[in-house]
Amino acid sequence: MAVTSLKRNLEWLFLVIFVIGSAWLAWGLYSQWRGIIEGHQLRQNSQITTIGNATRAVFNSQETLLTLLGGQLMVHWRMGQVDAVQTVFENMLEHNRTTVGYALLDEDLDPVVVRWRDDRVQPVTPRDRAAERSVCETARDSGIMVVGGAFRLESMDRWLIPACKAMRDTGGEVTGFVSAALAIDGPDSFFAEQAALGQSNVVQVIRGADLSSMLWATALELPEGYLAQPISRRIYEQAIASAERLSGAPIDTIRATGRPYPYRLETALGPQVGMAMYDDRYDLWVLTQTNRRELLADFFLSAWIYVAIYLVVLTSVLALLFAIGRAERRRRADLVYQAHHDMLTGLPNRQSAIADFERMRHRYGDEFALMFIDMDNFKAVNDGFGHMQGDAVLRLLGARLNEFAREEERVARVGGDEFVLLTPETDPERLVARGCKLADRLAARYVVDDVGFELGCSIGIARPGDAGPSLNDLLRAADVAMYSAKRDQHSARLYEPTMGRVYLENIQIEQRLRKAVDDGAIHMVYQPQVDPEGRILGVEALARWDDPELGEVGPSRFIAIAETSGLIGRLGDHILECCLADARRIANQRTTPLRWSLNISVRQFLQPDFAERVIERMSEIDRSTIEPVLEITENLFAEDYGSLASGVGKLHRAGIRIALDDFGTGFSSLAMLRDLTIDELKIDKSFIDDLEAHESARKLVQSILAIGRNQGMRVVAEGVETRRQFEILREDGCEVFQGFLFSSAMTMESLIDALTRGLPGRD
């Protein structure tokens, strides 16, 4: 039955391939034909543009020559120097091989001097004279050189084009004419270079007035007497109608634009495809066309290749289909393996972990445990060395975990650097001991391509009796325990119900915090910063939150939750708006500057447009009475030093002072102080607390004060709580102080009163 089903499926598959292949062949042949047409049009467009520009250029050069020549000749003639006129003509004939004769005519078109090539004065027939008079009559009313129709000079056995330019005095009156006879056949033809462009198709230049031919270049045999016969008016009108139809533009527009336009027509030689371009200065049509049979020949050459490929593929399909049965069975086996295993490490995946969990539960009931394993700092491997190195580390990690697991235990990879181990062990002490042993094993040094990696490992352990009956319950509980284990390196923690309560509290705080931000329940208080005499120099803005359900929530807790939940952007914007509103209120009541400091969260500063938004909002306050200061922690630069330093520079250039908070406890270095535009250093409270008891703390503070003075930075001592701390700092040269000794954080109303009356004395 299965064989019959497979055979039927293969037959249907062959039919589908045949239909699709035939459709592909038809589409390919159509696309190839369109490509040949478009490629040909591009070549013709380029060619006709070249020919048109070259034709106009040679006529322009001839017109310039006649203009310059005519001015000189008119002077000679008026002065009676006819011999000089003949000499000029002889020189021009010697150097200009495309011209076989020149003539100077008076204003009545009577010849004054006529000179032909080879020092021979050729007789001029009435027909030749009529051609010359006709073109010069037209030139009388034109400001440019006029080109006439081609005529044959019997005495020279050549075809010529008459060109005439009227000479005028300063008043614009015609004083005479200079004409030239341009050769259009023979080795020194006027169009000799353009004629070379007709090797792959037919190139023509015809006069618009009478459709007479001036150039007919082709690799084929030229029609007999082509210069003597004008282009058929019927063919001309067919070409015009075709150009109008293909371009959608009327003939007047085609003439006026001077751009190439495609056309198609039927001639005695068969269907032709071509391009036409009109030169309105000299009334010339430049044409290039190709017999469609040449395009069809190119198409059939390509079509045979397509058909041959199609036949080869179709023939090969039958052989391929016979192998599909065997390949399908092999593929199904591979899919089953892939569905239950991680392809990078070879370990079972989450799907397999679900099945192992069910088997464990069926066999052991609730008497088993799950270890949730997370690698610390693994992101640094990918970011610093690339994903290939990171993948290699993961493969080594998977091998270690697989070797560590006992026969009755099951392992799986459930995320990027997250793994689980299911074990029938349930004793808390043995579980934690085994988890710590596994953490040490997985945190051991990894070496990839002679590069060593030191990774931490945190393990959370959960049992169904404590966490819940489902795999998701165990994963969630083990994840909570794992985050508790991250406080120590290479450690393991067993889930306890109290951990779950903290986790739920954090969720509740996050939910209430979202509502508080929406309702504007976060408010600001301000702690003064004073000089050695106790005068207020500035304030630090501090966020406070009193929730009706949760009570007072400390900023360190709700800001940390805002950062991990992605709420820090909205919270930071709300705090910034509150500070700006209070700053504007203070600015209206002061005449001297007041420093206005605001702490910035790491995640808030990492927002792409943070600096630009702060600069825009700070522009709304009066800088003469309010000096904005942004306080950032040193650990901020452990994230992305380059881009963050750029943001600090933008803020500084906009007149916003930058203070480095908690200086000396984090990422700081002298190189950072040298490279960054830091305006203030804030000595961390931990140093201030030890001033009275430890001389080493005082030396550290003195060093920070010296660094500030040498770098031109203001140094602020925060957390000053005793009079002795204040005196020591003042003796060592500190100029700005902040702490409970002077004032606790106060409301806006209290701050306004303190700015007016001063701070009360504190012991």
The DSSP result for 14-42, as a single string, is: HHHHHHHHHHHHHHHHHHHHHHHHHHHHH
Cα of first residue to Cα of last residue in the chain, in angstroms, is 98
Q: Is residue 326 part of a domain?
A: no
User: What Rg value do the Cα atoms of the chain yield, rounded?
Assistant: 47
In this structure, the answer to whether residues 393 and 538 fall within a common structural domain is no
Compute, in degrees rounded to 10, the torsion defined by CA atoms 647, 652, 654, 657: 120
Q: What's the pLDDT score for residue 446?
A: 87
Q: What's the pLDDT score for residue 763?
A: 44
Transcribe 63-94 into DSSP letters.
HHHHHHHHHHHHHHHHTT-HHHHHHHHHHHHH
In this structure, the answer to whether residues 481 and 514 fall within a common structural domain is no
Q: Is residue 325 part of a domain?
A: no
What pLDDT, in 10s, does the model give residues 511-535?
888 888 888 889 999 999 999 998 9
Q: What's the pLDDT score for residue 190?
A: 57
In this structure, the answer to whether residues 660 and 527 fall within a common structural domain is yes
Distance of alpha carbon 210 from alpha carbon 213, whole angstroms: 9
Give the domain CATH number at 292: 3.30.450.20
In this structure, the answer to whether residues 112 and 157 fall within a common structural domain is yes
Q: Is residue 4 part of a domain?
A: no
Q: Which residues make Cβ contacts (< 8 Å) with residue 735, sequence separation at least 6?
A: 531, 532, 714, 715
In this structure, the answer to whether residues 285 and 391 fall within a common structural domain is no
Rounded to 10 deg, the angle between the 428-443 and 387-404 helix axes is 140
| Mean of all residue pLDDT scores within the chain | 82
Give the domain CATH number at 414: 3.30.70.270
Distance of alpha carbon 574 from alpha carbon 132, whole angstroms: 90
Q: Is residue 322 part of a domain?
A: no
Q: What's the pLDDT score for residue 739?
A: 92
pTM for this model (two decimals): 0.46
In this structure, the answer to whether residues 359 and 408 fall within a common structural domain is yes
Q: What's the pLDDT score for residue 422?
A: 93
Helix ranges restricted to H, 79-165: 82-95, 126-140
Q: How many domains does the chain have?
A: 3
Q: What's the pLDDT score for residue 410?
A: 92
Transcribe 327-358 into DSSP letters.
HHHHHHHHHHHHHHB-TTT-SB-HHHHHHHHH
Please give the structure tokens belonging to residue 34.
Answer: 């369109």
In this structure, the answer to whether residues 440 and 489 fall within a common structural domain is yes
Distance of alpha carbon 139 from alpha carbon 179, whole angstroms: 10
Which is nearest to 53 in space by CA: 262, 289, 259?
Answer: 259
Give the domain CATH number at 568: 3.20.20.450
In this structure, the answer to whether residues 579 and 691 fall within a common structural domain is yes
C-alpha distances (whole Å) from 303 to each of 25, 28, 39, 225, 299 are 9, 9, 16, 39, 6
Which segments within 408-486 are labelled E, that is strand?
A: 410-413, 418-423, 446-448, 451-453, 456-462
Please give the structure tokens belonging to residue 294.
Answer: 């040449």
Distance of alpha carbon 551 from alpha carbon 203, whole angstroms: 93
In this structure, the answer to whether residues 600 and 456 fall within a common structural domain is no
Which is nearest to 243 in space by CA: 272, 269, 214?
Answer: 272
Compute, in degrees rounded to 10, the torsion defined by CA atoms 311, 314, 316, 322: -160
Of the residues 249, 283, 304, which one is the last residue of a structural domain? 304
Identity of residue 543? A
Q: Is residue 328 part of a domain?
A: no
In this structure, the answer to whether residues 114 and 137 fall within a common structural domain is yes
Of the residues 450, 467, 495, which one is the last residue of a structural domain? 495
Q: Is residue 636 part of a domain?
A: yes
Compute, in degrees rounded to 10, the torsion defined by CA atoms 401, 406, 412, 413: -10
Distance of alpha carbon 563 from alpha carbon 556, whole angstroms: 11
In this structure, the answer to whether residues 126 and 242 fall within a common structural domain is yes
**Local structure of 677: helix, strand or coil:** coil
**Local structure of 290: helix, strand or coil:** strand
**Local structure of 116: helix, strand or coil:** strand
Q: Is residue 94 part of a domain?
A: yes
Which is nearest to 472 in space by CA: 348, 342, 369, 354?
Answer: 354
Q: Which residues make Cβ contacts (< 8 Å) with residue 491, sequence separation at least 6?
A: 436, 439, 458, 459, 485
- Which stretches of the chain drop beneath a pLDDT of 70? 1-7, 118-129, 131, 186-200, 218-228, 268-269, 325, 329, 487-489, 500, 502, 564, 602, 634-643, 664-672, 674-675, 761-763
Identity of residue 532? P
Tell me the residue range of the domain where 55 lies: 13-304
Q: Is residue 8 part of a domain?
A: no
In this structure, the answer to whether residues 482 and 522 fall within a common structural domain is no
Q: What's the pLDDT score for residue 734?
A: 92
Distance of alpha carbon 349 from alpha carbon 419, whole angstroms: 9
